[in-house]
Structure 1
Amino acid sequence: MTTLSGVTTDEEVLDVLERLRAGGDNPSAFLALNSGNGYFTDPATDGVVAYREAGSYLLQFGGVHAPPDQRETLLRAFLDHARRRRRKVVAVQVLSPDVDLFVRCGFTVNQIGSSYSVHLPDFALRGSRFMKLRNKISRARRSGLEVTEVPYGECAAEIDGIDGAWLRSKGRHVKEIEFLVGELGGPAQHARRLMLGRLDGKPVAYISYSPAYGSRPGWLHDLSRRLPDAPPGVMEAINLTALERFREEEAEWLHFGFTPFTGLSAEHDPAGAGKATRKIIRLLADRGDTIYPAASQLAYKEKWGPQLVLPEYVAFHGRARLGAIWQILRVTKSV
């Protein structure tokens, strides 16, 4: 299976889902199923590469989704595919265990952000560090908030209403970020979990969770929206309801996913990392909140006391190029 970006059938998406279940180890791997992605497979492996085409680049998402002993074969096959199409490859959200693989295959690799995860068996809201969080959740519950898990098909219209109000509240020029965040609907919707918050029967907020496979299995907190006038603590109360349910089901991890431009450290960069790229990423971290809401995302994730914070990387085949960074920003609709 080799598909152009955005040209996929339901059967191909479900085949990709099975490949992610079998060989995916990135907690955000499920986002590879987002509409608009293309997929590359090779007969010699059981894995898949998800990507989007942007200008002269193929933007690869989440590294290589394959069993460890097949990743290099698949990555090199994808590079051959890109070379035949006269495209350059840039990979985003590459994890630490795959950095050496990408370097070995001719990539320049830099840290671009971090991901945050909670180990559910060890999680508790006790102690002074969680006092503000407990108070916000109590306030939301006292307001009459009811949280239920619902099938998307039964509340799609209400979800669309929340999305529309949320987007309008951001201003007329703000676009909804894509590619690195979750979505709803499509042939893989049955694998997601949707928690909906209601006040007096009216839907006011929701959080969607996607399955996480591999060495840290559990769930990914991948998409959330609220009405602008929803009371404080609504999102936290919805997430706590989901967290407690996942723990009862003996899930291991709740992943809050990747946030660009956070947790940056030169110590995380491998030898040969691009110095100019490091400066650009640091500049975006310091001044780029209008491009990507990293600060607000980080504040929400840190309030849950994540026990695991891991660096994630961007990898440029060959030397790093400013044009490639621009294409990443454009595809995610950050600019």
Structure 2
Amino acid sequence: MTTSLTASHPALAAIHDYPSADNPSSFLAVSEGNSYFQLPDHPGLIVYRRTGRFLVQLGGPFAPTGSYRELLEAFRSTAREQGLGLVGVQLQRYDAQLYADAGFTVNQVGASWARSLSTFSLAGTKFMQLRNKISRAKRAGLDVVEVHDDAVFPRLREIDRLWLRDKGEQTRELEYLVGRYGDRMQPHRRMFVGFIDGDPVGYISYSPVYGNRPGWMHDLSRRVPSRIPGIMEAINVAAVETFRAEEVAWLHFGFTPFTGLHDDHEMPGHDVGFRRFMELLWAHGEAVYPAQSQLAYKQKWAPDLLLPEYVAFDGPASVAGFAHIFRASNAF
């Protein structure tokens, strides 16, 4: 049985109640446009989108242990009965091991990064350049505010428009594996905005993270094209200071494909050729996804946790199946 988004929003309950895989990106499950696979008398669900002849699954089943395998096998059977390929992305190591045991071809596809906040500090020479950039933004008049009123969102949409235009005519608005703001799940998120002379010049949206490493995920972030350095860094520092005052344990920076690849992370039976393809995209795949620049920003904050993330194919690893992940994300 498949369902679309409903008023009760089963995905929100599932990611909160069944964080079995501790997926820091689980809040993406509630995005509009997702579909959900469920079984009668089996708690939990699977999040997916159909694109072309593939079902693209987000994470593993958000379900208790007792119904995890039943959901996976039923979803797999449904895809096969419909003549559709099945590929899952952003699986955590827990998921990856179960998928490999079930006969999927599982490869590391990247990593997510996180920083524990209990000991976080910008003191020391390691953060000197970061502190200098933040100081320059503040000297330019930057004021960072956590906003709770969606009246500012139309002005943030203008930042989105300028940001996309600056990236080039071919740049598309990503979705599915990237968060959003302003929908009916907005009350669960937090939004920090930087203003100069009363005008918004950048923002960072933070999504909740559940499970064993609870906290917030640095999600969607945009800024107006500007020569003023340190705008995004200053916004994030303001959020971190707020979170630390609230005794939040973790700041997650989310998934970056092609990063953190290591032999020790791979599953038995992984595809060696696909692993080389991931390494090639890390080195030369900026046009597919700017992984190196994304990782450089995250490393500014000295993350102390790397979580390998995986892609799983029902059958051999395939470039076509992998490409449908990016199609589902509106990358092309």
Determine which of 108, 127, 130 is the counterpart of 1:130: 127
User: What is the TM-score with the length of structure 2 in the denominator?
Assistant: 0.95
After TM superposition, the structure 1 = structure 2 runs for residues 212-223 of structure 1, keeping only pairs within 5 Å, are: 212-223=209-220
CA–CA distance in 2 between the matches of 1:314 and 1:152? 38
**1:230: Cα distance to partner?**
5.8
Which stretch shifts more, 284-293 or 324-333? 324-333
Determine which of 193, 205, 225 is the counterpart of 1:208: 205
**1:127: Cα distance to partner?**
1.4
1:331/1:123 Cα in 2 relative to 1: closer, same or farther (>3 Å)? same
Retained in 2: the 8 A contact 1:17–1:188? no
Q: Which amino acid aligns with 2:54?
A: Y
CA–CA distance in 2 between the matches of 1:183 and 1:148? 19
- CA RMSD between the two structures: 1.5
Q: Does 1:100 align with 2:89?
A: no
**1:152: Cα distance to partner?**
5.2
Aligned to 2:2: 2
After TM superposition, the structure 1 = structure 2 runs for residues 168-183 of structure 1, keeping only pairs within 5 Å, are: 168-183=165-180
CA–CA distance in 1 between the matches of 2:36 and 2:324? 19
Aligned to 1:141: 138
Aligned to 1:112: 109
Aligned to 1:88: 85
Which stretch shifts more, 220-229 or 324-333? 324-333
Aligned to 2:284: 287
Which stretch shifts more, 149-158 or 197-206? 149-158
Q: How many residue pairs get matched?
A: 330
CA–CA distance in 1 between the matches of 2:272 and 2:125? 41
Determine which of 7, 17, 21 is the counterpart of 1:22: 17
Which stretch shifts more, 44-53 or 68-77? 68-77
Which stretch shifts more, 24-33 or 35-44? 35-44
Q: Which amino acid aligns with 2:15?
A: L
CA–CA distance in 2 between the matches of 1:302 and 1:236? 12
Q: Does 1:267 align with 2:258?
A: no
Which stretch shifts more, 23-32 or 108-117? 23-32
Determine which of 29, 33, 56 is the counterpart of 1:32: 29
Instruction: Report SS of the residue matched to 1:291.
Output: coil
1:122/1:333 Cα in 2 relative to 1: closer, same or farther (>3 Å)? same
Instruction: Report SS of the residue matched to 2:39.
Output: coil
Instruction: Report SS of the residue matched to 2:218.
Output: strand
CA–CA distance in 2 between the matches of 1:85 and 1:190? 37
Determine which of 187, 191, 196 is the counterpart of 1:194: 191
CA–CA distance in 2 between the matches of 1:196 and 1:321? 41
Identical counterparts, % of pairs: 49
Runs of at least 5 residues in structure 1 that lack an aligned partner in the other structure: none
Q: Which amino acid aligns with 1:162?
A: I
Q: Which amino acid aligns with 2:231?
A: V
Q: Which amino acid aligns with 1:17?
A: L
Q: Does 1:311 align with 2:308?
A: yes
Instruction: Report SS of the residue matched to 1:140.
Output: helix
Determine which of 307, 324, 332 is the counterpart of 2:329: 332
CA–CA distance in 1 between the matches of 2:216 and 2:89? 21
Aligned to 2:58: 61
Tell me the alpha carbon deviations over residues 189-236 of structure 1, each in whole angstroms, 9 at most, x when there is no partner: 110000011001011000000000111110011100000026210100
**1:77: Cα distance to partner?**
2.2
Retained in 2: the 8 A contact 1:205–1:230? no
Q: Which amino acid aligns with 2:126?
A: R
Tell me the alpha carbon deviations over residues 59-79 of structure 1, each in whole angstroms, 9 at most, x when there is no partner: 000222123443222212221
CA–CA distance in 2 between the matches of 1:128 and 1:70? 50
CA–CA distance in 2 between the matches of 1:83 and 1:149? 47
Q: Which amino acid aligns with 1:2?
A: T
Retained in 2: the 8 A contact 1:204–1:230? no
